Chain A
């Protein structure tokens, strides 16, 4: 069964002359346990799709089904947020500066209706490779990679089935990126998670995702497999441009 099915999805912002059609007629589906990538340049609408799924983009039309259930408007039920969680791009902006790691995780667990909060906080920190000594730190006492680990722990608090990853490593160093991607690989296996990952970095998407959709100016121009990507089998000219850009990148030097 498909975890996420999207059909005829249109998302827009603003009105009149300032109306921007951020996503036009998008369609894709993600199977249970699959890791699906959305790539494209900034402004191509890839993050907007994730935001529409979680109800952060109020003006959309079309169909979004999560585990077979169609979503409506921008209100989501508590049960929805238990199933679907999001990790944002910028761990510097997505954690409350005045709340310690313990507060962030405990509150999330409480809201998700969990018992044994104390134990679960410990377990979550362990799962993301942080350990208990980070528990009473504030975000400013953590590095970028550690913050992103906290954000991932927070997303995992409700034991979700689906993680929406919005450029989870683009704000991080390459060495830390490797750690976070390895962590995500492990978590997906351990918790049987389904990922939808937005990134502009093709090698990262090739590393993490089984299939991917390439977006350009709000439209999905191509859906390809990881293998297609690695063998550079691009059908759409835009995908080819992206591929060329990331290959010359590697050959440099």
Chain B
């Protein structure tokens, strides 16, 4: 079953130098699966995630044949209707916890607010209980101390885990995770991804995992879209990423340092302008 369907999505920004196309006509479908979107910064992967949630503000322009969630075209909804989609049906874990957490509220207050917003009848005690539970679910050892802490008092990795805890409180259908684990170290990355993985399976959620980390994506997703300059240049089965054909995908893979291959310089990706206008791939 298709949870989300995106057809011919464009995101444009007018600039002094003319219109800049951040996303250039991409199409993909998502079932109850884990879809990875990989690309460098500027490839339009985050813009795709934001466009789905209609988070692109004026003067940005979003155009598409449709962006539908369970058959409902999100582009037709009013801003008010959209607010009930965000959080409850589709939620997003943003890139940087430093900008996503409120710096003048304690972590506990923020988590509890999120719970009570989506469960208006819930009591404070319940809210607190659920918040502590979610913090523990994202492997935070001393949840009680963290509840009292302000965002600047926790490390970056912990901040991101708090964000994930907060986003999962409303029990959404689709989670868009925009580089959720880039700030975490390998061991914690796995824990966090295992948590997200569990949610997708147990609750039948869809996951769009936006990342620049090819290895991570190949491990934790079913399918991967590779984006370059606002287009999908390649669609791979996650397990077969290393057999990728596109020179861009190969270049990304080769630019990673490896434990088993010492070398003085890392390979730097050589870009080819022809990639920008290559025929469209779709993830449908």
Contact = CB atoms under 8 A, between A and B. Distances in A.
B152 to A, nearest CB: 11
Contact of A181 (B96, B190, B242, B257): B257
A175 B215 contact: no
A179 B268 contact: yes
B42 A143 contact: yes
A253 B268 contact: no
16 contacts: A17-B145, A41-B185, A42-B183, A42-B188, A175-B251, A175-B252, A178-B257, A181-B257, A185-B264, A203-B258, A206-B257, A207-B266, A232-B259, A252-B219, A253-B239, A253-B240
Contacts of A93: 98
Specify which of A13, A47, A171 lies most central, judged by the most chain B CB atoms within 10 Å of its CB. Answer: A171
Interface of A is mostly: helix
Nearest to A175: B269
Contacts of A144: 41
B41 A253 contact: no
B242 A253 contact: yes
B19 interface: no
Contact of B186 (A172, A176, A202): A202
Interface in A220-246: 226, 229-230, 232, 241-243, 245-246
Given A179-B268, A248-B219, 4 more contacts: A181-B266, A203-B259, A246-B259, A247-B259
A42 B215 contact: no
Given A178-B267, A202-B259, A43 B40 contact: no
A18 B148 contact: yes
Contacts of A43: 155, 157-158
Contacts of B183: 42, 170-171
Given A41-B187, A173-B41, A203-B259, A249 B215 contact: yes
Contacts of A106: none
A231 to B, nearest CB: 9
A248 B267 CA distance: 22
Contacts of A172: 41
A41 B266 contact: no
Given A201-B186, A203-B258, A249-B215, A42 B148 contact: no
Bin the interface of chain A by size. 35 or more
Nearest to B239: A253
Contacts of A245: 186-187, 189-190
B244 to A, nearest CB: 9
A-B pairs with the 8 shortest C-beta distances?
A42-B157, A200-B185, A253-B218, A178-B266, A207-B257, A178-B255, A252-B219, A175-B269
B214 interface: yes
A230 B259 contact: yes
Contact of B212 (A39, A173, A206, A249): A173
A250 interface: yes
Given A179-B268, A247-B259, A253-B241, A174 B213 contact: yes
A92 B283 CA distance: 32
Interface string B211-237: 011111011000000000000000000
Given A143-B41, A185-B265, A202-B259, A249 B158 contact: no
Contact of A253 (B42, B157, B215): B215
B258 A174 contact: no
B271 to A, nearest CB: 9
A40 interface: yes
Contact of A171 (B182, B219, B252, B259): B182
A203 B258 CA distance: 5
Interface in B246-284: 251-252, 255-260, 262-269
A204 interface: yes
A178 B214 CA distance: 14
A77 B22 CA distance: 47
A163 to B, nearest CB: 18
Interface in A139-181: 143-144, 170-179, 181
B186 A242 contact: yes
Contacts of A252: 215-216, 218-219
